[in-house]
């Protein structure tokens, strides 16, 4: 059966891929998947039957699996691969039905647009998410195209943003929205995090994109309040049609996205229903990304 890649209608990115069993991908299959991944940024596969090890094996096609840092909800996860369930079911299989439980409260922070591990010096390359159990309604995952968001800006703003650097902090973003206890620092860079260029060039495609999201909380070249206003405006304007898509999960769905140029967010569902998604995260390149050339600058 041949692989078919069908672009999502009405949006600037994303495609559904059919004709492929992710448990067994040949080198030729992988080449087609990788081309589509770079072109569309988000790939959707339906009716897959991956167990945990098969899920990890497919994710490894994109690169090495990321390891948990000390910025995690559970100290016993530090140093382990980022392979985890995102769910309202606890470790004993019990349903969590209230949002003030530490697990659902922590995961509630994910309802803001973000890029996985942008708060680390080497932000994530890709994420591979599979639906195991889904609610009757709600619980979609949103995706937003930061390549198209950059393209939509006028040339003068593109030029200005190329010269800026943003600080990304999970510790700050989680405390700021009340997902964990504590108080957000007046200067976000006083909390754990990492600096990244606000505009980055994709290493495979050469396309520039905005690198923003809820973890981006300070701009080095601006005052804290001014930088946060700019980041807020950019995020609001970027995550609008036709640059957004919300995926309604069905059991067996697998979605892969490129964290280097896409943002994503969770949405609410009735916590009286089980929702279990298994997440595997692919580590990014630890080398410093190439800067975006500024037109007219001396190289």
1 confidence band (pLDDT: 50, 70, 90) = low
CATH number at residue 79: 3.60.130.10
Please check whether residue 213 lies inside any domain of the structure: yes
What's the domain count of the chain?
Answer: 1
78 confidence band (pLDDT: 50, 70, 90) = confident
Query: In the chain, at which residue ranges do the beta strands (DSSP E only) sit?
Result: 4-7, 15-18, 42-45, 83-87, 126-133, 141-145, 165-168, 194-197, 199-201, 208-210, 216-219, 244-247, 254-258, 262-266, 276-282
Q: What SS3 class is residue 73?
A: coil
Confidence at residue 72, expressed as pLDDT on a 0 to 100 scale: 57
Pairing status of strand 244-247 against strand 15-18: unpaired
Please check whether residue 18 lies inside any domain of the structure: yes
Residue showing tokens 């300070």 = 218
Higher pLDDT, 288 or 91: 91
Q: What SS3 class is residue 297?
A: coil
pLDDT digits (tens, 9 = 90+) for 177-199: 999 999 999 999 999 999 999 99
Q: What SS3 class is residue 4?
A: strand
The pTM for the full model equals 0.93
**Of 291, 214, 263, whose CA–CA distance to 41 is shortest?**
263
Pairing status of strand 254-258 against strand 126-133: antiparallel
Please check whether residue 157 lies inside any domain of the structure: yes
pLDDT digits (tens, 9 = 90+) for 234-264: 999 999 999 999 999 999 999 999 999 999 9
pLDDT digits (tens, 9 = 90+) for 128-165: 999 999 999 999 999 999 999 999 999 999 999 999 99
pLDDT for residue 294 is more than 50: no
Query: Can you tell me the distance from the alpha carbon of 123 to that of 258, in angstroms, rounded to the nearest whole number?
Result: 11
pLDDT digits (tens, 9 = 90+) for 193-218: 999 999 999 999 999 999 999 999 99
pLDDT for residue 298 is more than 70: no
Please check whether residue 288 lies inside any domain of the structure: no
Please check whether residue 98 lies inside any domain of the structure: yes
Confidence at residue 69, expressed as pLDDT on a 0 to 100 scale: 73
Domain assignment of residue 157, given as a range: 4-282
Query: Can you tell me the distance from the alpha carbon of 44 to that of 249, in angstroms, rounded to the nearest whole number?
Result: 10
Please check whether residue 293 lies inside any domain of the structure: no
Calculate the alpha carbon distances from 79 to 124, 174, 177, 191, 222 in Å: 15, 21, 26, 20, 35
Please check whether residue 290 lies inside any domain of the structure: no
Helix (H) / strand (E) element for 116: namely none
HSE, side-chain direction, 13 A CA sphere, residue 151: 9
Please check whether residue 297 lies inside any domain of the structure: no
């Amino acid at each position: 059966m041949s692989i078919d890649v069908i672009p999502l209608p009405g949006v600037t990115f994303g495609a559904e891929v059919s004709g492929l069993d992710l448990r067994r991908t040949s080198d030729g299959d992988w080449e087609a998947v990788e081309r589509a991944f770079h072109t569309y940024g988000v790939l959707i596969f339906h009716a897959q039957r991956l167990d945990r090890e098969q899920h990890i094996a497919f994710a490894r096609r994109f690169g090495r699996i990321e390891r948990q840092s000390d910025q995690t909800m559970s100290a016993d996860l530090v140093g382990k691969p980022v392979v985890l369930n995102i769910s309202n079911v606890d470790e004993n299989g019990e349903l969590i039905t209230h949002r003030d439980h530490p697990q659902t409260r922590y995961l509630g922070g994910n309802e803001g647009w973000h890029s996985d591990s942008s708060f680390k010096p080497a932000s994530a390359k890709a994420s591979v998410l599979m639906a195991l159990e889904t609610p009757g309604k709600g619980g979609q995952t949103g995706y937003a195209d930061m390549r198209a968001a950059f393209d939509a800006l006028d040339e003068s703003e593109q030029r200005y943003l190329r010269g800026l650097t943003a600080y990304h902090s999970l510790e700050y973003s989680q405390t700021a929205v009340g997902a964990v206890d504590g108080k957000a620092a007046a200067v976000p860079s006083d909390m754990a995090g990492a600096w990244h260029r606000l505009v980055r060039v994709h290493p495979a495609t050469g396309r520039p994109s905005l690198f923003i999201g809820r973890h981006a909380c300070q701009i080095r070249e601006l005052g804290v309040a001014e930088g946060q206003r700019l980041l807020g405006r950019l995020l609001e304007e970027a995550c609008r049609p036709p640059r957004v898509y919300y995926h309604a999960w069905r059991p067996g769905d697998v979605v892969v996205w490129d964290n280097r140029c896409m943002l994503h967010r969770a949405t609410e569902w009735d916590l009286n229903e089980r929702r279990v998604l298994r997440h595997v995260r692919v580590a990014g390149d630890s080398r410093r990304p190439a800067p975006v050339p500024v037109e007219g600058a001396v190289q």
